[in-house]
């Protein structure tokens, strides 16, 4: 039937992205995982017999990504068994320095990859149109989605039209003054009038259907980029025509960024924490941000530090959530006596214990004692 179409919706590949908390080989594997996500998308598109793949912006993390990132990304896109339509977003706008007009992109772009470098209607199959709203500069100075809808003639009889746009929608954004906000009500009015049959949005890195029509969707990023993302790692397979509409998520992401907010006051709390780290799988693709609150003895604090150091070696990364983490140490004179240190170390312990002693004791002295304790018991 004319106008019936199945496609894969994705966005925010952010190819070339770096994360400050990933060191050495972990960053290299994370960079490779974003390119592996392209191959995983190709597998889903092939298995689900998608007619094409739509990428709703931020294909690249910046217009300044390395030549290697561009070459490897295009190589992976060339393996997708259907046409791939790329929409420039706020991270990779079609400005004078655009990655899409770079010599390396032009040299390596495979024949199945099309950059939507003009706003407006692109016919992609019999009875199927993409209405594209690419970014030409950052920041955008207007609602590019509304501009594209307003500028286009209504679709012809029997034609399915899909809007491809990038940016935050007004109902989700706290920054109400931004002129680039996509006004959801305008999109839904266009859906109601039969001018749009699906809206494929990018910018939000978490999967979400917005509005009352069920036709406006963020796919989210295929591979996690930040701790705050609720449902990263998915792509959408969409069936649509003028009357019917179905959207199914498929998981392609392999990395996890997770926050552990826990109270640590007792040895049992540390047992639980240790067990939680132990259960993480796969560790080398998981980044854990800890926010630990509590008060520990010198011995337990030493155990906590050992435990964190141990798991840091098998995880992709473990970092402390600054401002949300507060582990205090209680200094017990008996614990210090058990250390059995002598000479100048004993003097240091005595000095630090004096500074740490009372209720308002110096937290740095307590941390120093905890470290000293930890090194001594080793
Ligand atoms: Mn993005």
Residues 243-284 pLDDT 10s: 789 999 999 999 999 999 999 999 999 999 999 999 999 999
Q: Which residues of 190-210 are buried (b: 16+ CB within 10 A; e: fewer)?
A: bbeeebbbbbbbbbbbbbeeb
Between the CA of 243 and the centroid of ligand 1 the distance, in Å, is: 31
Residues 126-178 pLDDT 10s: 999 999 999 999 989 999 999 999 999 999 999 999 999 999 999 998 777 88
Label residue 294 left, alpha or beta by phi (over 0 means left) and psi (-120 to 50 means alpha): left
Residues whose CB falls within 8 Å of the CB of residue 363, separated by 6 or more in sequence, listed in order:
328
Between the CA of 165 and the centroid of ligand 1 the distance, in Å, is: 12
Between the CA of 282 and the centroid of ligand 1 the distance, in Å, is: 25
pTM above 0.85, yes or no: yes
Between the CA of 50 and the centroid of ligand 1 the distance, in Å, is: 24
C-alpha–C-alpha distance, residues 1 and 12, integer Å: 32
Paired sense of beta strands 128-132 and 5-10, if any? unpaired
Between the CA of 315 and the centroid of ligand 1 the distance, in Å, is: 25
Collapsed DSSP state (helix, strand, coil) of residue 376: helix
Between the CA of 201 and the centroid of ligand 1 the distance, in Å, is: 11
User: pLDDT class for 377, splitting at 50, 70, 90?
Assistant: confident
Between the CA of 202 and the centroid of ligand 1 the distance, in Å, is: 7
Between the CA of 22 and the centroid of ligand 1 the distance, in Å, is: 19
Sketch out the chain's domains with CATH numbers.
5-251 (3.60.21.10), 256-377 (no CATH)
């Amino acid at each position: 039937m004319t106008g019936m179409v199945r496609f894969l919706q994705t966005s925010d590949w952010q190819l070339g992205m770096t994360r400050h908390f990933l060191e050495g080989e972990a960053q290299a594997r994370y960079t490779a995982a974003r390119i592996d996500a392209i191959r995983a998308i190709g597998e889903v598109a092939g298995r689900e017999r998608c007619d094409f793949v739509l990428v709703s912006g931020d294909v690249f993390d910046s217009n300044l990504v390395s030549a290697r990132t561009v070459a490897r990304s295009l190589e992976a896109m060339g393996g997708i068994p259907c046409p791939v339509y790329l929409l420039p977003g706020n991270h990779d706008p079609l400005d004078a320095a655009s990655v899409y007009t770079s010599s390396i992109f032009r040299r390596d772009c495979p024949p199945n990859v099309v950059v939507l470098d003009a706003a407006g209607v692109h016919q992609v199959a019999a009875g199927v149109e993409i209405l594209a709203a690419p970014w030409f500069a950052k920041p955008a100075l207007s609602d590019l989605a509304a501009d594209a809808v307003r500028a286009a003639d209504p679709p012809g009889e029997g034609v399915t039209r899909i809007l491809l746009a990038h940016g935050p929608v007004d109902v989700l954004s706290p920054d109400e003054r931004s002129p680039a906000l996509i006004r959801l009500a305008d999109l839904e009015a266009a859906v109601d009038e039969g001018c749009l049959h699906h809206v494929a949005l990018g910018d939000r890195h978490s999967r979400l259907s917005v509005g009352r029509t069920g036709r406006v969707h963020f796919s989210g990023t295929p591979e996690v980029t930040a701790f705050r993302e609720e449902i990263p790692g998915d792509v959408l397979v969409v069936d649509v025509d003028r009357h019917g509409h179905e959207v199914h998520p498929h998981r392609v992401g392999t990395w996890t960024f997770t926050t552990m907010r826990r109270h640590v006051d007792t040895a049992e709390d540390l047992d639980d924490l240790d067990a939680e780290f132990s259960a993480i799988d796969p560790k080398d693709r998981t980044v854990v941000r800890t926010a630990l609150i509590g008060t520990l003895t010198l011995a337990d604090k030493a155990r906590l530090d050992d435990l964190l150091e141990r798991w840091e070696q098998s995880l992709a990364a473990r970092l402390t959530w600054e401002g949300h983490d507060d582990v205090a140490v209680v200094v017990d004179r008996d614990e210090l006596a058990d250390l059995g240190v002598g000479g100048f170390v004993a003097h240091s312990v005595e000095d630090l214990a004096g500074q740490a002693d009372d209720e308002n004791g110096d937290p740095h002295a307590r941390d120093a004692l905890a470290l000293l304790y930890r090194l001594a018991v080793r």
